[in-house]
Homo-oligomer: A and B are copies of this chain.
Amino acid sequence: MSNTPDTAVRAYIDAHRAAFLDDLAEWLRIPSVSADPARAADVRRSAQWLAAKLRETGFPTVEVWETGETGTDGAPGAPAVFAEWPSGEEDAPTVLVYGHHDVQPAAREDGWHTDPFEPTAVDGRLYARGAADDKGQVFFHTLGVRAHLAATGRTAPAVNLKLLIEGEEESGSPNFPALVHARADRLACDAVIVSDTGMWSEDTPTVCTGMRGLTDCQIDLYGPDQDIHSGSFGGAVPNPATEAARLAAALHDGDRRVAIPGFYDGIVELSEAERELFAELPFDEKRWLGAAHSHGALGEAGYSTLERVWARPTAEVNGIGGGYQGPGGKTIVPSTAQLKLSFRLVAGQDADRVQQSVRAWVAAALPEGIRHEVTFWGATRPCLTPLDHPALQSVVRAMGRAFGQKIRFTREGGSGPAADLQDALGAPVLFLGISVPSDGWHAPNEKVELDLLMKGVETAAYLWGDLAASGRTDRRPSP
């Protein structure tokens, strides 16, 4: 299926590896911390640095897109970088690569062994804030596309290649959905490649096939108009703290299955094939519990831990509060209580319908004398690409050639802006990442494994040819 000989790709990468790493180090020195207003100029400088590098790489169109300018009142957000390189061939599929150039805060005194903004290579690892999340994984596409051209003798990529590298991901992408919607025509594509995730481990290269969605809410319960004496009135009036607890407890049945009527309506169940693939992963529960800082595994009956976090929708109590929480006791029936819930969603679940189900369930559960309000904060849709999707198969083949190993499958339990791209562009979202759990995203001593980084370059070098060769990418959006 490939039109790029492996030896040519490897030779090109080897020849340019040193310069590539020098360039990456230069970018990593820019402390593009989007959460810190004092670093706004650095975030802008990071965007401009990337734009210049993409022009140098050969992209004929490179633009720095301002964000957040929604009107005269709109505070500007951090700039994104857009680049486009048309294939020149009719019927070539169009691919959009997503990543981000902003980074998490980092300071030497947080426990870094080296300056987080002075990239340091030790034992085949490059330590720096952003090395894995996400500058390293964005940057492998630059050498990747050059290797693709060099090995195939092309002057333009085999696909119409677009890049959108945002500058606010570490700040919750506040302006990203608006940007994507406003620029949907420029971003139009047949598939989105998200390079902002990781693999199972160094030894087990994987492709992620989906992320869970999310909707979260606050439920406020109002009982007596003030805290009242539990001796004079307790046992004879409804207690909002008790009712909040009853709601939270009723979220799950005895099998820890979500008990809200209608919650599971329409979901895409895990296929037996996918369950078998998950089960093949070398999962070490003790190690996983260590990463979770937890002392026991507990969840929906009939599913493994990986299935629970990757492929099953959940209802989680993020916070509960009501009545007296200070030291000692206070014999009251509280006036109010509050519950914060989040629901992780899987493909097939509609956030609006879930929200309606939650509202109806709350209203039906509460006794007379308890008034309530339910406030949803928002929703991020789930995304999932079927295992047999042609574009996913291309990613798997490209990785397989780079790693020389069988590529396995994972999913991501969290929720992210990938779903905004899927929704706005109607294109399937694929994940290509080479980071591993030990890379320490958001933590001190973030690093990237240099060998894996070069595998990312190599995968990118194979991917465009494979996608073009395997025909016009299936435009089926995720379910």
Contact = CB atoms under 8 A, between A and B. Distances in A.
Interface of A: 212, 214, 216-218, 223-226, 228-239, 241-242, 244-252, 289, 292-300, 305, 308-309, 312, 314, 316-325, 328-335, 337-338, 340, 342, 344, 367-371, 377, 412-415
Given A242-B249, A242-B252, A251-B242, A296 B216 contact: no
Contact of A309 (B234, B248, B322): B234
A235 B309 contact: yes
A414 B231 contact: yes
A231 B320 contact: no
A91 B153 CA distance: 121
Contact of A328 (B299, B377, B414): B377
A308 B236 contact: yes
Given A244-B320, A249-B246, A414 B294 contact: no
A299 B249 contact: no
A413 B231 contact: yes
A98 to B, nearest CB: 18
A214 B237 contact: no
A292 B371 contact: no
Nearest to A324: B319
A126 to B, nearest CB: 24
B226 A293 contact: yes
A231 B344 contact: yes
Given A249-B242, A369-B295, A344 B228 contact: no
Given A231-B214, A320-B337, A367 B298 contact: yes
5 contacts: A233-B294, A241-B320, A249-B249, A296-B367, A318-B333
Contacts of A228: 292-294
In the A-B complex, the 4 residue pairs with the closest CB atoms: A296-B369, A231-B414, A245-B248, A235-B314
Given A224-B292, A237-B289, A316-B331, 5 more contacts: A225-B293, A234-B314, A237-B296, A317-B323, A321-B325
B237 A297 contact: yes
Contact of A329 (B235, B237, B377): B377
Contacts of A370: 295-296
A344 to B, nearest CB: 6
Given A296-B370, A325-B338, A333 B316 contact: yes
Nearest to A315: B235
Contacts of A340: 323-325, 329-330
A242 B248 contact: yes
Contacts of A218: 329
Contacts of A298: 236-238, 367-369
- Output the residue of A218, A229, A413 with the most chain B CB within 10 A: A413
B309 A238 contact: no
Contact of A230 (B294, B316, B368): B316
A361 to B, nearest CB: 15
Contacts of A321: 320-322, 325
Contacts of A225: 293-294
Contacts of A368: 295-296, 298
A367 B252 CA distance: 14
- Output the residue of A234, A242, A309, A322 with the most chain B CB within 10 A: A234
A248 B330 CA distance: 16
B235 A293 contact: no
